[in-house]
Chains A and B, each alone.
Chain A
Amino acid sequence: MDNVIDISNNALDFIKQRGGIVTIRLSPRHSCCGGLTNVAVAEARYPDAPQHYQRHMQDSISIYIAPDLAAQGLRIDVEGWWKLRRLYVDGAALSAG
């Protein structure tokens, strides 16, 4: 696969409407009993610490992606309606924190 991540057309439009930047990162989820798992999430915004991400240009948008998630065959799509529209990362397994 040439692309660092697969992005659907709907997600591309969504990202472009919000400035043309997307951050793909691991979001930690604390369990009730002390452990951590990480969920891949995508946000149409600039990352807090860009130095921790790989930067790519793809389909006229800037992609900031956590190195662990790049070129893994993941796909970004958009779901929901009106104010609830959001990006999601498809095909990612959970990982240990």
Chain B
Amino acid sequence: MTTQNTSSPTSADMGLFERYLSVWVAIAIVAGIALGQFAPAVPDTLSRFEYAQVSLPIAVLIWAMIFPMMAQIDFSAIAGVRRQPKGLTITTTVNWLIKPFTMFALAWLFFMVIFRPFIPEELASQYLAGAILLGAAPCTAMVFVWSYLTRGDAAYTLVQVALNDLIMLFAFAPLVVFLLGISNIQVPWDTVILSVVLYIVIPLAAGYFTRKILIAKRGAQWYDSVFMKRVGPITPIGLIITLVLLFAFQGEVILNNPLHIVLIAIPLIIQTFLIFFIAYGWAKAWRVPHNIAAPGAMIGASNFFELAVAAAIALFGLQSGAALATVVGVLVEVPLMLALVRIANKTRHHFPTEAH
């Protein structure tokens, strides 16, 4: 049995916001810097609303970004783990046993060695920390778009997202603490635990129970077509407002080091291609069908950047280099992933086409 389309969708089939995400992020950077420079009272006032060193406005914005994505994860899809064992083996191994470590290695090589003359050591450590946070969480929501653009298998995409999100719940914090530890970046365990509870466990539990209760009460169709229709668009709004605020605090860093954005982007770009080709090449070697191989490679190449931004802010603060590095991840995400979509679609003929 095959999928019904014969022509590949193009980036023109993406929503306006996601297609031009880099543009909106760039506008958010400029708007944030302008806000910080010309109306410093706004970030100063917002920074006063803190409880237990957690910025309440930022916490609310981060929940607004993450909760809608968690509320649409169908964990019952986990039941399908036995259907595509090769694809799931590749994506799980690459995402959790390879990707975090290649990200660490590349970021360390570039920030601590190659770019040493251009970046002060303390800032380089912060950028390394941001890269580690990006590498420790695979994509959760955009992977459906990348899967669509490469004519990926929908049922498989659902399963791999559910499986990776479940693993993320347990693996994100230990991986981050381990990699920060070997980078000599000390983060107290209680701070890490607090950020994981605040920005993963609470939104995930809230999303899971919201989904379960509302579907039991109103049905899955109502949940999809009414509830998620209202809640889903909150994520990009939360993302952009968070970025504006973040750059209101980051203004001085950016104005003093505009080149740093380019320097941060270099290892992130290399990592994206490297992880894609590891997973995609492995899938080709195992003769995995293209509609499994493409989404399996895309999920690791793309990042759960909302979580990375949230964790960077929670662990290192809004004004940190770590937070800046995670935002550069957002900035380069869409153009890079569209390049990978093109590569995947042009190399389709190298793979078996049947998934069933």
Contact = CB atoms under 8 A, between A and B. Distances in A.
Interface of A: 6, 23, 25, 27-37, 39-41, 43, 45, 47-49, 72-75, 79-81, 84-86, 88-97
B353 to A, nearest CB: 12
23 contacts: A6-B1, A30-B69, A30-B233, A31-B141, A32-B140, A32-B142, A32-B239, A33-B15, A35-B14, A35-B19, A39-B158, A49-B221, A75-B1, A79-B79, A81-B79, A84-B79, A86-B76, A86-B77, A88-B77, A91-B3, A92-B153, A94-B154, A95-B148
B79 A28 contact: no
Given A33-B142, A34-B17, A34-B233, A92 B224 contact: no
A29 B231 CA distance: 11
A40, A80, A88: most-surrounded residue (chain B CB, <10 A): A88
Contacts of A33: 15, 17-18, 21, 141-142, 235-236, 239, 334
Contact of A30 (B147, B235, B334): B235
Contact of B15 (A35, A45, A73, A91): A35
Contact of B154 (A35, A39, A75, A85): A39
Nearest to B19: A35
A49 B239 CA distance: 34
Contacts of A90: 1, 155, 356
Nearest to A71: B4
A49 B220 CA distance: 12
B229 A25 contact: no
Interface residues of B, number: 58
B190 interface: no
A89 B15 contact: no
Interface of B: 1-5, 9, 13-19, 21, 65, 68-69, 72, 76-80, 82-83, 140-142, 144-145, 147-148, 151-155, 157-158, 219-222, 224-225, 228-229, 232-233, 235-236, 239, 291, 305-306, 334, 355-356
A25 B78 CA distance: 20
A25 to B, nearest CB: 7
A97 B224 CA distance: 12
Given A30-B68, A94-B157, A86 B79 contact: yes
B65, B72, B141: most-surrounded residue (chain A CB, <10 A): B141
Contacts of B69: 30, 32
Given A93-B148, A94-B148, A31 B142 contact: yes
A6 B79 CA distance: 21
Contacts of A23: 221
Given A25-B221, A86-B79, 6 more contacts: A28-B228, A30-B72, A30-B141, A73-B2, A88-B77, A92-B155
A37 B147 CA distance: 9
Nearest to A32: B141
A85 B233 contact: no
Contact of B306 (A28, A30, A32, A73): A32
Given A32-B65, A73-B1, A94-B152, A88 B144 contact: no
Given A31-B15, A31-B144, A32-B142, A93 B5 contact: yes
Contact of A27 (B1, B2, B220): B220
Contacts of B151: 93-94
A33 to B, nearest CB: 4
Given A27-B224, A32-B65, A91 B141 contact: no
A87 to B, nearest CB: 10
A90 to B, nearest CB: 6
Contacts of A92: 3-4, 153-155
B204 to A, nearest CB: 15
A91 B19 CA distance: 27
